[in-house]
Amino acid sequence: MTRRPTVRSVHQNGLMNEPQEQHLAGCVVLVTADRRSTELAAALTRHGAEIRHAPAISMVPILNDDELIATTRGVIAQQPDVVVVTTGIGFRGWIEAADAHGIADELVDALRRSRLVARGPKARGAIQAAGLVADWVAESETAAEIAEYLLEEGVAGLRIAVQHHGSGADGLDEAFLAAGAAVDSLVVYRWGPPRDPEAVRASVRDCASGVIDAVVFTSAPGAAAWLEAAERDDRLDALVASFREGFAIAVAVGPITAGPLRAAGVEPIVPERGRLGALIRILVAHYASRRGAALLTVAGPLLLRNTSAVLAGRVLDLTPTGFAVLRALARAEGGVVCRDDLLDELPGASRDTHAVEVAIARLRQAAGEPRLVRTVIKRGYRLELVSDV
């Protein structure tokens, strides 16, 4: 009996489990994130994925920004009634910026006397890391829930400090100002252009042409930037079609990140909790659920990815020609495929059936089981399925 390989790993940050089946074996997964991309890629690799990395945006810290420091001094001098923390990384960066200018202790003291509102657990974790306690946390992790909560209580006459995410366009400042509050707006980092624009363009082309199996998104600005790159390259329609037709799947860490994708006509899979660990689990679960679609051959279950084949849990070492032949045979689901039809699958314009014979021989060798492909005299070839024997 063929055993599916497993990998043992150390549990860290909720991203790894023990043992791990290789449900992503043969899958090419594109990571569009910059921050924590190494951690994310490592966790996906442990599940068998082949990783492509093309961050669609970069994060530009502005720790020495004069406006940020001036606003921070204002927060210290005139303690806010409410402080809204929208991102963990932004809040930590704010404290670091204050520390670089020798005013971190004063800032933390001012925040301790303010009411702290967090946009989700990551923001709450950063607050706790600073030795503070969040008074309220938005379960949906959205700015809209924060606005609804505070506006319902009433903010007229209050001073509210808002630490924004990279794009700074969450509508909180405008909503609070319109309701009669004074607002201190703090932007600790900004989203910048990708460090490698050609890698982003190449990732769009590969996804549109069916080379990528799954694309992982961890921020709404990153998702929007990747789609904009596709539009600039005149490939957005082809890209959306690739997702809609199931050649690729999109995975978004949460509903906010999913927003730009849905607006473009791409429906991603989204975990219930906006965490990298949950994102990985839902992607793994998606491919684990597809095991039932495997062809049961005499050499074990056969699963086809976009550009690779997994036989009995092992990614086959196939040339593009070998993969094209195997894909044609798998499509027939045990039916006979004639030599001429297999020739049509091969690259080039040759009509020499010897090329098919060579491809079949190499396919059998890669599979390690000559019986996988059966020769049907004077007719062609077929996959030998378990039900056929």
How deeply is 234 buried, as exposed, middle or buried, from its count of CB atoms within 10 A (0-12, 13-18, 19+)?
Answer: exposed
- Please identify, in words, the CATH class of the domain defined by 294-388: mainly alpha
DSSP classification of residue 7: E
Question: Tokens in use for 8?
Answer: 């043992």
Query: 136 pairs with which residues across the strands?
Result: 117
CATH 3.40.50.10090 domain extents, the chain: 7-57+194-291, 60-191
Task: State how far the alpha carbon of 77 is from the alpha carbons of 72, 74, 122, 135, 265, in Å.
Answer: 9, 5, 27, 22, 48
The CATH label, of 3.90.1150.10, 3.40.50.10090, 3.40.720.10, 3.40.50.720, for the domain at 7-57+194-291 is 3.40.50.10090
Each residue's pLDDT, cut to its tens digit, for the chain (389 residues) gives 333 333 333 333 444 444 457 889 999 999 998 877 888 999 999 999 999 999 999 887 776 688 899 999 999 999 999 999 998 888 998 998 899 899 999 999 999 999 999 998 889 999 999 999 999 999 888 888 999 999 999 999 999 999 987 666 678 999 999 999 999 999 888 888 999 999 999 999 999 999 999 999 998 889 999 999 999 999 999 999 999 999 999 999 888 889 999 999 999 999 987 778 899 999 999 998 877 678 999 999 999 999 899 998 899 998 888 898 999 999 999 999 998 898 888 876 666 778 888 889 999 999 998 999 999 998 999 999 987 54
DSSP classification of residue 48: T
pLDDT tens-digit series, residues 280-306? 999 999 998 877 678 999 999 999 999
Q: Is the dihedral of CA 125, 126, 130, 134 positive or negative?
A: negative
Tokens 């600073």 sit on residue = 130
pTM of the predicted model, to two decimals? Answer: 0.75
Nearest to 63 by CA among 211, 187, 198, 214: 187
Please, are residues 32 and 220 in contact by the beta-carbon 8 Å criterion? no
CATH 1.10.10.10 domain extents, the chain: 294-388
Please, are residues 252 and 268 in contact by the beta-carbon 8 Å criterion? yes
The 10 Å Cβ neighbour count of residue 86 is 27
List b or e across 123-162, with b for residues whose CB sees 16 or more CB atoms inside 10 angstroms. Answer: bbebbeebebebeebbeebbbeebbeebeeeebeebbbbb
Task: State how far the alpha carbon of 55 is from the alpha carbons of 36, 252, 261, 290, 372, in Å.
Answer: 11, 14, 16, 28, 41
pLDDT tens-digit series, residues 149-196? 999 999 999 999 999 876 666 789 999 999 999 999 998 888 889 999
Domain at 60-191: CATH code: 3.40.50.10090
Please, are residues 346 and 323 in contact by the beta-carbon 8 Å criterion? no
Tokens 């505070």 sit on residue = 150
